[in-house]
Amino acid sequence: MPLRNFFCIFSDDLPASRDWYVDRLGYATGFDSDWFVSLQAPENAAVEIAIMERNSDLVPDAFRKTVGGGMLTIVVDDVDRVYVAMNTASDRIIEPPRDLFYGQRRMLVQDLNGILVDVSSQCDPDPDWMASLQR
């Protein structure tokens, strides 16, 4: 049974990447070194992501390239507030907030490392979709 779980982002600019997640999404720095940073949600240290220097000896050569698949999802209280802050900061918004049929209001943004980040809040699901589940 897992005891801990987090995603580790590989970065060419560790301080800038750390600051992006702290400033835009409210993470707090738990551990900070010149090769690795651990970030946690202030209210829940179990909500954690990490950032590692891409050229660290701990990263195999074949995995030092930019990520091409996958998406990091971060659930927040108010995605629209995050959108305004990121839009004002000229972050690379891929998709502005919109309600999805299954009860999630989502925006997509690309972080400084090329990672696709889904920032979401809960919303009411589409009633037609909910009715289709009852059939």
What does the chain come to in residues?
Answer: 135
Domains of the chain and any CATH numbers = 1-58 (3.30.720.120), 67-135 (3.30.720.110)
- Residue 64 in tokens: 């030092």
**89-135: pLDDT as tens digits:** 889 999 999 999 999 999 999 999 989 999 999 999 999 888 888 87
Question: Tens of pLDDT along 3-37?
Answer: 778 899 999 999 999 999 999 999 999 999 999 99
Percent pLDDT > 70 in the chain is 99
Q: Please name which of 69, 17, 24 lies closest in space to residue 38, comparing C-alpha atoms.
A: 17
User: What are the pLDDT digits (tens) for 49-58?
Assistant: 999 999 999 9
**Under the phi-then-psi rule, with left for phi > 0, alpha for psi from -120 to 50, and beta for the rest, what region is 99?**
beta
What is the structure's pLDDT at 45?
A: 85
DSSP state of 124: P
Q: What is the rounded distance in angstroms from the CA atom of residue 37 to the CA atom of residue 50?
A: 6
